[in-house]
Amino acid sequence: MTKQKLIYEGKAKKIWSCEDENLYISEFKDELTAFNGEKKATEEGKGALNNKISAQLFEFLEAKGIPTHYKSMIDDNNMLHKKAEVILIEVIVRNIATGSLSRNLGIEDGKILPFTLVEFDYKNDALGDPKLNDQHCLIMELVKDQSELEYIRYMARKINLLLQDFYAKLNLKLVDFKLEFGRDLNGNIILIDELSPDNFRLWDSTTGESMDKDRFRQGLGGLKVAYEEVLNRILGSNK
């Protein structure tokens, strides 16, 4: 498959059409952004690492019965996937309090939550991705009905349980993460976007070290090294 027309360019990826009208190609970029685009940088090789990590996780979830848009990796920076209509809801799944949850609500940083928290944000950069409740989602017609919201919550929690176990075996804690969903050509809701340390908070279970984009957000450095370590642990677990 080869790229043809640029369909969309976001902060981390470009989406291209290809010879098959039912498929797209995602090109993973090396750019880094944080705080709604206020902080920007470039890290050579970051895009390839995110593509490789995402491919591994999509394959893992597909094997566990989670429907996704993933088809295959084309090369280091490009992924082939199904065309899908994006549902404009960012699904935030939290197991441990940190980041905005601690800043906005005063919950102690590092507190293990009594249950997994699933939040919705409106996928809209111009508005700063504001928080949504169910009524907002229905009023704005982001979903067809309440049952779709319940299904998205159900899938988010199921994915969380699978990935918590997956990462625990790699000596990593899954702190929180962002998921995106879309509708395939048959109208079915499937997991889309990417599954990488750009969208996941991962802490080393022994040292507590951040192995994700917080290294950029907090100016810690060593982002590429951390992403490489995550990928190496994943690949090592497959041997």
100-137, pLDDT tens digit by residue?
Answer: 999 999 999 999 999 999 999 999 999 999 999 999 99
What's the rounded Cα separation, in Å, for the pair 70 and 84?
Answer: 11
Strand 172-183 with 200-204, pairing:
antiparallel
Cβ–Cβ < 8 Å for 101, 108: no
The structural domains of the chain, with segments of one domain joined by +, span 6-82, 85-226
Cβ–Cβ < 8 Å for 95, 112: yes
Q: Which residues contact 114 (CB under 8 A, 6 or more apart)?
A: none
Topology (CATH level 3) of domain 6-82: Phosphorylase Kinase; domain 1 (3.30.200)
* Residue 1: predicted pLDDT: 85
Considering the chain, what is the average pLDDT of its residues?
Answer: 97
* Residue 207: predicted pLDDT: 97
pLDDT digits (tens, 9 = 90+) for 159-202: 999 999 999 999 999 999 999 999 999 999 999 999 999 999 99
What's the rounded Cα separation, in Å, for the pair 220 and 204?
Answer: 15
At 239, the pLDDT band (50, 70, 90 cuts) reads low
Cβ–Cβ < 8 Å for 15, 79: no
H or E stretch covering 202: strand 200-204
What's the rounded Cα separation, in Å, for the pair 207 and 226?
Answer: 13
Percent of the chain past pLDDT 70, that is, above it, reads 100
At 12, the pLDDT band (50, 70, 90 cuts) reads very high
Task: Provide the CATH number for the domain formed by 85-226 in this structure.
Answer: 3.30.470.20
H or E stretch covering 81: strand 78-82
